[in-house]
Amino acid sequence: MTMTHAGGRKPNLVLLGVDSLRADHMSCYGYPRLTTPHIDRFAQGGTLFERTYSPHIPTTSAYSSMLTGMDCFSTQVVALRHRGPLRPEVRTLPEILKDAGYATSCVGFSGNAASRGFDQYLNYTGWGSWNEGRSPKAENLNEVAIPELDRLVGQDQPFFLFLRHMDPHAPYLPPAPYERMFYHGNESDPSNKSMEPVMAFKPFRDFFASWMPPGIADKDYVIAQYDGAVAYMDAAIRTIFTALEAHRILDDTIVALNGDHGETLYDHECYFDHHGIYDVTLHVPLIIRYPGKVPAGRRVAGFNQHKDLVPTLLDLAGVDAGGISFDGKSLMPMARGEVASHDSEFYITECTWMRKHGWRTPEWKLIVALEPDFHFKPPVELYNLVEDPEENINLVQREPEVVTLLQHRMEKWIAKREKETGFENPMLTQGDWHGHTGIGPFTSSQQAYDTLHIGDPNQAARLQAEARE
């Protein structure tokens, strides 16, 4: 027991939320490239959860679950462009901690449905483009976060600091030396055709042209930029750990790192984004360090989801949630080896650039389109996750009984949650989720392809002109 806690003071809490971070591109999760040496070292002092899933894609719905301990039926948040605030009946982690005497600050997270309740909102530049040059997003975050951490440490009350990292979220523009840390060669080699299908995808090609090198030809360069952004973010996070150490509070602070969702790189034709409910997008890292309470050097294989984070953090902090009945459960029994796993089959949703839902078990993944998508994918997909972990072989025709079984289990779960919450499944009430008022659900993949678009066409045109010179 440390001096800090002897007087009954609650532990500080630092939550690192990393946007678009694939667990399988971190070296501590087995990636062959050494992308996260500092997080790897941090993980050795805590518990790493090997099977943490983001069931509600993308950011808006993911953080709504991460910061409330609730699933999408309780939050009613599933869409990227969620309209209106979070339901007032659902309490956020900063609101709960504020009632327990905490000072609360967040960096880079204003404007999200789940960002309600912080005392302080600080922002930083977290985007960028090719014209603006290399993008020091994580350093920009530190420039704001470190002074705020210093301020919070100087106060008499315990604090909750939430940092929302925008590396490795696109644009992937890590500064030198990270840009070429994992790549040697000519990214514009005209004989390499791997980027042709990416740049032929009309909805996104202007966006890609706004931050990828003019004349980009090699997909491996873009993947190396993503990995470089992960490594850059990892180095910047070391600065946060150093600040906590310098204040001599690292071991008195619950530090958790969680991803909101993963990323599709060259996978499933959902190029360099995070739509789709394939495992590259669902599987996220979760590492928690708090010496004395969280076992050191432990890797936990049990399944868990975003909704389990808040109950876990409150359990560790010894904070009473005031009678809230969370959808999630504390992961501490799992970390201690008393429980093998939480729910190993669960409902998954996506409402980003496509509107789909599905059911994931340890063996199977069912994906059902609620309307046609802009990738012209089949309305139903079924993957055997044991035999085909990359989800490349759609077994719908071969395994109709499995499709029926999983659909039944999914529908039974939806009906149960609708009854428990008194709300309709939010996936069915999204209206113009795609941001085009009055269009309603897409009636064909062609309509979706022709309607959806991100990027700056004028800038893209300039970049293409430069590439031809």
Q: How far apart are CA 102 and CA 313, in angstroms?
A: 13
- Residue 80 is which amino acid? L
Cβ neighbours of 436 (radius 10 Å): 12
Q: Please tell me whether the peptide bond between 58 and the residue prior to it is cis, using omega within 30 degrees of 0.
A: yes
Chain position carrying tokens 């069912």: 366
Per-position DSSP letters for 272-331, written without gaps between them: TB--S-SHHHHEEEEEEE-TTTS-TTEEEEEEEEGGGHHHHHHHHHT---SS---SS--S
How far is it, in rounded angstroms, from Cα 313 to Cα 91? 15
Distance CA 17, CA 424 (A): 29
How many residues would you count in the chain?
469
Task: Please list, residue by residue across 3-12, b when 16 or more beta carbons sit within 10 angstroms of its beta carbon and e when fewer do.
Answer: ebeeeeebbb
CA distance 261 to 281: 6
Q: Quote the tokens at residue 186.
A: 């000519």
Taking the C-alpha atoms of residue 201 and residue 111, their distance in angstroms, rounded to an integer, is 30
For residue 325, CA distances in Å to 72, 180, 387 come to: 15, 48, 38
Contacts of 62 (CB under 8 A, 6+ apart): 54, 56, 260, 261, 306
Instruction: Mention every residue, 6+ apart, whose C-beta is less than 8 A from residue 248.
Output: none
For residue 373, CA distances in Å to 213, 267, 367, 431, 445 come to 28, 16, 12, 15, 5
Q: What angle do CA 337, 338, 343 make, to 5 degrees?
A: 95
DSSP 338: S
- In 406-445, the DSSP E strands lie at none
Contact (Cβ atoms closer than 8 angstroms) between residue 49 and residue 99: no
Cα distance between residue 413 and residue 349, in whole Å? 13
DSSP letters for 23-69:
GGGSGGGT-SS---HHHHHHHHTSEEEEEEE--EESHHHHHHHHTTS
What pLDDT is attached to residue 3? 34
Element (H, E) at 255: strand 253-259
Q: How far apart are CA 127 and CA 171, in angstroms?
A: 7
Return the pLDDT at 460.
45
CB 144 within 8 A of CB 122: yes
pTM of the model: 0.95
pLDDT in single tens digits along all 469 residues of the chain: 233 444 578 999 999 999 999 999 999 999 999 999 999 999 999 999 999 999 999 999 999 999 999 999 999 999 999 988 999 999 999 999 999 999 999 999 988 889 999 999 999 998 888 988 999 999 999 999 999 999 999 999 999 999 999 999 999 999 999 999 999 999 999 999 999 999 999 999 999 999 999 999 999 999 999 999 999 999 999 999 999 999 999 999 999 999 999 999 999 999 999 999 999 999 999 999 999 999 999 999 999 999 999 999 999 999 999 899 999 999 999 999 999 999 999 999 999 999 999 999 999 999 999 999 999 999 999 999 999 999 999 999 999 999 999 999 999 999 999 999 999 999 999 989 998 999 999 999 999 999 999 876 554 445 434 433 3
Q: What angle do CA 213, 215, 218 make, to 5 degrees?
A: 80
Q: Pairing between strand 355-360 and 364-369?
A: antiparallel
What pLDDT is recorded for position 112? 87
- Under 8 Å between Cβ of 270 and 347: no
Give which of 97, 67, 252 is closest to 164, Cα–Cα: 67
The torsion of the CA quartet 374, 377, 382, 385, rounded to 10 degrees, works out to -70
Please give the Cα distance from 259 to 281 (Å, whole number).
Answer: 10
Q: What are phi and psi of 365, to 5 degrees?
A: -130, 120
